[in-house]
Structure 1
Amino acid sequence: MTKKVVYLHGFASSSQSEKAVLTSAFFARYYPHIDYAALDLPYAPDAALALIRQHIGQTTEVALIGSSLGGFLATCIAEQLGCRACLINPAVAPHKVLHQHLGRYYHPVLQQHYEVTAEHMSVLEQLMPMTLKQPQNYLLLLQSGDEVLDYRLALDYYQGASIKLSEGGDHSYVGFAAELETIANFCQLA
């Protein structure tokens, strides 16, 4: 049984994004006994993974929910821990997409500037698992209208996972709130 659930936001997002806020409210209302957190991740991938590992601690009874780049980070952790992960329009090989976004940004929740560098792209490339050890540990929620990421890359990479592909939509995942019970069930919270 899962005792801890961690929500991981995407690139240039935060714990205050619409999906994160909806997920937090859902867990507070229906699963108050679960140790739930929506983290504000640093933008250096190795620092983000270190924060996630620190938050998880020694427990193996954890499930991850990751959106976009958070889906990639969730995959990295899930492959190490063998835990379940629900991924919403996840980034596959994010170094191939994010290289277009090198530069300086401001994180409104952490209230700090950060730099996205070519070195970060190298780290992301090195972190990417070449194959999934336990694809059955993943639930993918994909929308074909995702204007940021090609959903077909996720279909290919996550073969053997539980996949729900909706026609249309966009990168934010239109209708996300309707998927929260499916996510909670996949996380094995009962």
Structure 2
Amino acid sequence: MNNLLYIHGFNSSPKSLKAELTKSYIKEQQLSVNFYCPQVASSPKAAIQQLEEIVDSEPSANWCFVGSSLGGYFASYLAEKYSGKAVLVNPAVRPFELLTDYIGEQTNPYTDEVYQVKPSHMDDLADLYQQNIATQNYMVMVQTADEVLDYRQAVDKYHNTQLIVQEGGDHSFINYSAMLPSVMRFLALQ
């Protein structure tokens, strides 16, 4: 059985547009795929534990990952741990540097959860960094006008993967729905 774990980004949720579009595409195309998209825990350790428990719950399944932003960082970790394929959308490459600006109280705009981003979370994120990756297992999609992340970090890290660089766009990845057939083909789900 094919399982797809979609991992949303920082301060996001399963109700994000890309998550909803992915779920709808699988249903509309009648793909034989179990779609998972949990509300990811707000601390890195809890998030990875939660995501690993989902994958470990069906060890015989073929797991694929789609991750957006911070979810892309988590997807990269999981793809290496479980030797799965992953599609990363405007992925965070070094979130342990980026998220230092967010230390303190945060409110998730989707869920209204109020939580703390702690300095220790930066160490937890750094512990998940994957220096060496199985480049054939990745498709990485970035847009050059991403206002949140420097797309060049992803281009540098994932230059030997199936890399798609689109001019313009933004952090949400404009026209993501048009990429879904390519995403599903790369993951061998369509």
TM-score (normalizing by structure 1):
0.94
Aligned twin of 2:166: 166
Aligned length: 188
Give the Å deviation of 1:109.
5.4
Are the equivalent residues in 1 in contact too, given 2:107–2:115 (CA < 8 A)?
Answer: yes
- TM-score, scaled relative to structure 2: 0.94
**Corresponding residue for residue 42 of structure 2:** 43
CA RMSD of aligned residues (A): 1.5
Tell me, yes or no, if structure 1 residue 68 matches structure 2 residue 69.
yes
Question: What's 1:178 paired with?
Answer: 178
**Structure 1 residue runs of 4+, over 4 Å off?**
108-111
Deviation for aligned residue 1:104? 1.6
Q: Summarize deviations over 1:70-103 as a string: whole Å, max 9, x none.
A: 0000001111111000000000011111110112
Q: Which segment is superposed worse, 14-23 or 52-61?
A: 52-61
Amino acid at match of 1:6: L
**Contact 1:65-1:86 within 8 A present in 2 as well:** yes
Instruction: State the partner residue of 1:112.
Output: 113
Unaligned ranges ≥5, structure 2: none
1:95–1:183: structure 2 CA closer, same or farther, 3 Å change rule? same
Which one-letter code corresponds to 2:29 in the other structure? Y
Structure 1 gaps of 5+ residues are none
1:109 and 1:149 map into 2 onto residues whose CA distance is 21
Distance apart, 1:158 and its partner CA: 1.1
Structure 2 counterparts to residues 71-86 of structure 1, below 5 A: 71-86=72-87
CA shift at 1:159, angstroms?
2.6
Query: Paired residue for 1:140?
Result: 140
Answer yes or no: is the 8 Å Cα contact 1:103–1:117 preserved in 2: yes
> Which range moves more in the overlay, 69-78 or 108-117?
108-117
Give the corresponding residue for 1:14: 13
Aligned to 1:34: 33
Share of identical aligned residues, percent? 34
Write the deviation string for residues 26-72 of structure 1: whole angstroms up to 9, x where unpaired. 11221453111112101111111111111112235110000000000
Provide the residue aligned with 1:92 in structure 2: 93
The CA deviation at 1:107 is 3.5
